[in-house]
Amino acid sequence: MNDMRLTERAVDATDVKISARKVQVYYGDNHAIKDVDVDIPDRMVTAFIGPSGCGKSTFLRSLNRMNDTIPICRVEGKITLDGEDIYDRRVDPVQLRAKVGMVFQKPNPFPKSIYDNVAYGPRIHGLTRNKAELDEVVEQSLRRAALWNEVKDRLHAPGTGLSGGQQQRLCIARAVATSPEVLLMDEPCSALDPIATAQVEELIDELRANFSVVIVTHSMQQAARVSQKTAFFHLGNLVEYGETGQIFTKPQDPRTESYISGRIG
């Protein structure tokens, strides 16, 4: 986990999950994302780093069309998931979001029971045939989110009653339960204490076995710890993108180097 060099991990680097070409995002007149090209590999953790307001969250939200819910937001360019244009007229954003799940900065469990929180996705997408299967999915998702042992005796207690770290893992379990192909995480640890952060980071590393994970983070240590690839954003531009080890040890761009060494941002 501490090893940042991709070459020793024996991952097929050509397996691209999401590919973005010349992506522009506008909020009204504000040009928030400029000309971003990026290839996000499958079954790997990709980290987006950069100073506040650099557009990394905006870009993340355009990967599952969450920006559609903001009326003044406009996306141009091409983003493909498994070679299919997600901004194509025929693509239903609702189905897209079932494939590209999202975990938010602040834990946002629904004011429902723990069980109902996790069962929410499978229920609306009709993923299970009966109660037993649903129970199975719920248990599996909670286990994957490393929460099962803590909540198995109180599945019907409200999810809002859990601690902050537990709530965030519940939200991850909720996202995992719909069996997405990609998991987008927008600063998932910024509202958590160090212990909960460590748990979630460990979890992210495990999720890599099944999903492609994209994580936005403010913490460079976190990016270094959990990701295999890192993209550095600055003022709406993608400055540098490459293997995490490379970005942190031998950055090509002077701006990346300044950010990593703490001179900007």
Partner 1 sequence: MPLPATLFCGLDISMSIGLLLAIILGLAAVGYVIGIRRAKDRAGGDTRRLHSLAGYHGQSVLLFTAVPALLVVGAWLLLQPVVIEARVSGMIAESDVPQGSSLDLVMSDVRRVADGLNAIAANEQLTEDEIAAMGADLGGLRSRLGNAGVALASDVQPSVFEASRTYRQMNNTGLTALSISAILVALAGLVFSASRIQAEFRARNVSESFVKLLFIGSSFVAVLTTFGIIASLVVESVHFFQLYPIKDFLFSLTWNPQFRGGSDLGIWPLLWGTLYVSFVALLFAVPVGLLSAIYLSEYASKRVRSVVKPAIEILAGIPTIVYGLFALITVGPFLRDYFAQPLGLGTSSSSVLTAGLVMGIMLIPFVSSLSDDIINAVPQAMRDGSFGLGATHSETVRQVILPAALPGIVGAILLAASRAIGETMIVVMGAGAAAKLSLNPLEAMTTITVKIVSQLTGDTEFASPETLVAFALGMMLFIFTLGLNVIALYVVRKYREQYE
**Residues of the shown chain interacting with partner 1 in the complex, contacts defined by CB under 8 A:** 64, 66, 69, 94-99, 101-104, 106, 108-112, 120-121, 124-125, 160, 171, 174-175, 178
Residue pair 16/41 in contact by the 8 Å Cβ criterion: yes
Helix boundaries (H) for the chain: 56-63, 93-99, 114-125, 131-144, 148-151, 164-177, 194-207, 220-226, 244-249, 254-260
What residues contact residue 67 under an 8 Å CB cut-off, 6+ apart?
25, 58, 61, 73, 75
Closer CB to partner 1, residue 97 or residue 255?
97
CA distance 130 to 32: 45
Residue pair 147/200 in contact by the 8 Å Cβ criterion: no
Closer CB to partner 1, residue 187 or residue 243?
187
| DSSP tag of 158 | B
Give me the least distance between CB of 124 and partner 1, in Å please: 5
Collapsing DSSP to helix, strand or coil, 78 comes out as strand
Q: What angle do CA 196, 146, 159 make, to 5 degrees?
A: 75
Closer CB to partner 1, residue 121 or residue 251?
121
Closer CB to partner 1, residue 126 or residue 194?
126
Give me the least distance between CB of 113 and partner 1, in Å please: 11
Give me the least distance between CB of 155 and partner 1, in Å please: 18
Give me the least distance between CB of 216 and partner 1, in Å please: 14
Closer CB to partner 1, residue 64 or residue 256?
64
Give me the least distance between CB of 180 and partner 1, in Å please: 8
